[in-house]
Amino acid sequence: MLFNIHRAYSIARKEVMHILRDPFVLALALGLPVMLVAFFGYAIDFEVKNIKLAVSDRDNGPAARRLKEIFAASGYFEILEPAPAPVALVDSGAAAAAVFIEPGFSKKLKDGEPVSVQFVLDGSDNSKAAAVLGYLPGIQSAASSRLAGRTVREPIALAARFLYNPELNSRWFTVPGLAAIIIGLLAILLTALTVAREWENGSMELLLSTPVRPLEIMAGKLAPYGALVLAGVFFVYLVSRLVFGVPFRGGHALYLAACLLFITAALSQGLLISVLTRQQQVAMQLSMISGLLPSLLLSGFIFPVESMPRFFRYFTMILPPRWFMAAIRGITLKGAGLAELSVPFLALGVLSALMLGLAVLKFKTDLE
């Protein structure tokens, strides 16, 4: 018999006992998901708020005061006043933007004359500047209506409706994607360390001297860590639903299938790293680089893949995190089915099979 389930189970039981005795592995497996959820869920917010706005009001009329109230009431700006040198505040970083209201602003508005207000913005942070510029049309529309004392009708009324995330809640965007970060880091790191430790301590040769076959060793070692990683994903799911109120519109079976495919690829990658390095320190470094960076930067978790240069758009096609991120967000927020996610699932299946095949081939070749 090429594969004996009882021998694989013995290896798995041995690995479970080792995990329970190793505080580092337990802390990593149980503490890292908590830390990542807390960090990304609470700390990362793509909505730019508390923008320091220096105001130079040289009019001091009722219309100028209402304009400042409109900026403050938006919830995005904090008014800094008096500000005798607004540009200097922007230069020093004490303010992110400045507004200049010239004398006669209220009188001109009362007489029905056209008025203008200068808005100066710090462009050194382009992402923040782009978000602030996105707030200005709404503030301009509110100011035109309130200051003119009547509803201002535009020639064309454009009504926007946001599907799947109507409030544009950034946590609905980031928290579901944490499954990719946790799997991509935990599965690769834990697997690479455990197998590399066997090589480093010389116990792998002892295992090979027993009747246990290499494939049974692989299955017995990978199964406990696969279960640990899946538990981390389940924890992210619970926190996203109970703490952050993220909706789940898709099928749980499809969600589980996507996770299992990605876990297979990540465990295989960790095994491949351990076979190539055979040293825990080197395995940890390679695992952090190859597990965290692609999941964080090249998967679409933060930066849209469509906005990347052409080379990186094509390069991400060979990375499982890119397809897993698309599948997870499609299932969670859009309620997409297998038909809509056929391309991500096909890519995940092919990449997982290739990664597993490469790991098995290298593992067997290395033992001969």
Each residue's pLDDT tens digit in the chain (368 positions)?
A: 567 788 888 888 888 888 888 777 777 777 777 777 777 777 776 677 788 888 888 888 888 888 888 888 888 888 888 777 888 888 888 888 888 888 888 888 887 778 888 888 888 777 778 778 888 888 887 887 777 655 445 555 556 667 787 777 778 888 888 888 888 888 888 888 877 777 777 777 777 777 777 778 788 888 888 888 888 888 888 888 888 888 899 899 999 999 999 999 998 888 888 888 878 888 888 888 888 888 888 888 888 888 888 899 999 999 999 999 999 999 998 888 999 899 999 999 999 889 888 887 877 655 55
Beta strands 97-101 and 77-80, pairing class: unpaired
What is the residue-wise DSSP string for 294-320?
A: HHHHSSSSSS-GGGS-HHHHHHGGG-H
Look at residue 214 in the predicted model and tell me its pLDDT.
72
Beta strands 51-57 and 97-101, pairing class: parallel
Report helix angle 214-242 to 188-201, nearest 10: 150
Look at residue 157 in the predicted model and tell me its pLDDT.
52
Continuous segment of H or E residues that includes residue 51? strand 51-57
**Beta partners for residue 52, in sequence order:** 78
Look at residue 27 in the predicted model and tell me its pLDDT.
77
Residue 334 in tokens: 């859009």
Look at residue 364 in the predicted model and tell me its pLDDT.
61
Residue 89 in tokens: 């505040």
Look at residue 96 in the predicted model and tell me its pLDDT.
86
Q: Residue 57 class from Cβ within 10 Å (0-12 exposed, 13-18 middle, 19+ buried)?
A: buried
Q: Break the chain into its structural domains and give their ranges.
A: 5-44+169-367, 51-148
Look at residue 366 in the predicted model and tell me its pLDDT.
54
C-alpha dist (Å) from residue 273 to 19, 56, 269, 282, 368: 20, 60, 6, 9, 18
Cβ neighbors of 185 (< 8 A, separation 6 or more) are 32, 287, 288, 291, 292, 295
Look at residue 324 in the predicted model and tell me its pLDDT.
94
C-alpha dist (Å) from residue 114 to 109, 203, 228, 303: 7, 83, 66, 41
Cβ neighbors of 227 (< 8 A, separation 6 or more) are none
**Beta partners for residue 80, in sequence order:** 54
User: Is residue 29 a contact partner of residue 232, using CB atoms and an 8 Å limit?
Assistant: yes
What is the residue-wise DSSP string for 207-237?
A: HHTSS--HHHHHHHHHHHHHHHHHHHHHHHH
- DSSP, collapsed to helix, strand or coil, labels residue 63 as helix
Contacts 24+ apart (CB under 8 A), 293-296: 294/184, 294/319, 294/321, 294/322, 295/180, 295/181, 295/183, 295/184, 295/185, 295/321, 296/181
**CATH (residue range 51-148):** 3.40.1710.10
Look at residue 293 in the predicted model and tell me its pLDDT.
83
Look at residue 256 in the predicted model and tell me its pLDDT.
93
User: Is residue 228 a contact partner of residue 26, using CB atoms and an 8 Å limit?
Assistant: no
